[in-house]
Amino acid sequence: MNALNIKGLTKVYKGGTRALNGINLQVKQGDFFALLGPNGAGKSTTIGIISSLVNKTDGSADIFEYSLDTQPVEAKSCIGLVPQEFNFNQFETLMQIVVNQAGYYGVPRNVAKERAEKYLKQLDLWEKRNQPARNLSGGMKRRLMIARALMHEPRMLILDEPTAGVDIEIRRSMWTFLKEINEQGITIILTTHYLEEAEMLCRNIAIIDKGIIVQNTSMKSLLATLNIETFILDLAGEHQNITLTGFEHRLLDIHTLEVDVAKEESLNNVFEQLSNQQIQVLSMRNKSNRLEELFVRLVESGREVQRIKDESAKKEALANE
């Protein structure tokens, strides 16, 4: 069963901005799905439509086979939303925020209080339960939004950049928590700018740019398409010229070498050649996250394809005149 089934979803804002251009997207039940794209690509608009915060222009969205148009109550009940911006009342206490949210979904107050204890404890917020939300740190506010979204025990959790501005320790604990709830059967859709986060957590991925899905596949098969990986080597001593036969390489400065290594080639070969030249490698690292490289390439190639399409459409229009 699909947790989410989007068909021909289109959004044109007042003023003519076309945020979504008839996208199709399916997310399977139980999946941990990444929806990535540059700023203004249409991620938040897509999430806004799914969660009923944005009115769509055209198309349809079904949540666990409930249509958002004809069965909005059933569809909305399946979704828990963690939005990008803090959108709780800053003057209310944590308990009030999460218990009220459960109430909006029809959860009786006594049950809501039990769940509040469970989720606030799991997210390390229980000690702060009677404090106004404005007193929380940024990381705590993010966790509060996750707790709030889980209060009605949704079947699908949508997280719009949940770890933005959160330090690495809290981010990692949030990853662990999200993995756990996904293992319990909750479908998760995640948008993030931290691509290592998507790589680490998600099984499937869609990349959206300018309102179009430019890639929709499994994380494994997407990463498998990456042919070349770039490594940065920190070298002992100073070097002006280095020869590496069979490898694209460049000296970034007298101590640092950048080498492109194709998938079928061995790194041993690089080290052997450097060793033969009496060059000692002190340390080595990836130039960037693998997914990041793919992301940039896909977005750029998608834009190139669109540019060519636009140009040929213009030419055709001129020829018809």
**In the complex, minimum distance from the CB of residue 192 to other proteins, in angstroms, rounded to a whole number:** 20
12 binds other proteins (CB under 8 A): no
Residue 13 interacting with other proteins (CB under 8 A): yes
Both tokens of 291, joined, read 């997914």
Contact status: 89 vs other proteins (CB under 8 A): yes
Residue type, 113: K
Question: Is position 52 an interface residue for other proteins (rule: CB under 8 A)?
Answer: yes
Which residue matches tokens 């998507």? 198
Binding status of residue 317 toward other proteins by CB under 8 A: no
Among 106, 253, 283, 285, binds other proteins (CB under 8 A): 106
Q: Is 302 in the site for other proteins (CB under 8 A)?
A: no
Question: DSSP letter string over 4-38?
Answer: EEEEEEEEE-TTS-EEEEEEEEEEETT-EEEEE--
Q: Is 110 in the site for other proteins (CB under 8 A)?
A: no
> How deeply is 126 buried, as exposed, middle or buried, from its count of CB atoms within 10 A (0-12, 13-18, 19+)?
middle
Paired sense of beta strands 204-209 and 32-36, if any: parallel
Q: Based on CB atoms, which residue is closest to other proteins, 19 or 125?
A: 19
> How far apart are CB 106 and other proteins at their closest, in Å?
3
Told to check if 103 binds other proteins by CB under 8 A, we report yes
- What is the rounded distance in angstroms from the CA atom of residue 108 to the CA atom of residue 161? 30
Residue closer to other proteins by CB (options 52, 269) is 52
CB-based contacts of 213, cutoff 8 Å, min separation 6: 23, 24, 25, 206, 207
Closest separation in Å from C-beta 46 to other proteins = 13
Determine the size of the site formed for other proteins (CB under 8 A): 33
We find the least distance from the C-beta atom of residue 103 to other proteins, in angstroms, to be 3
Give the whole-angstrom CA distance, residue 233 versus residue 95: 51
Out of 91, 245, 268, 318, the only residue in the binding site for other proteins (CB under 8 A) is 91
C-alpha pair distances (Å), 192 with each of 10, 19, 89, 100, 120: 22, 18, 24, 28, 23
CA–CA separation, 58 vs 309, rounded Å? 23
**Binding status of residue 46 toward other proteins by CB under 8 A:** no
* Residue 42 in the binding site for other proteins (CB under 8 A): no
Binding mask 232-261 for other proteins (x = CB under 8 A): ------------------------------
- Contacts with other proteins, residue ranges (CB under 8 A): 13, 48, 51-55, 72-74, 76-77, 79, 81, 83, 85-91, 96, 100-101, 103-109, 148
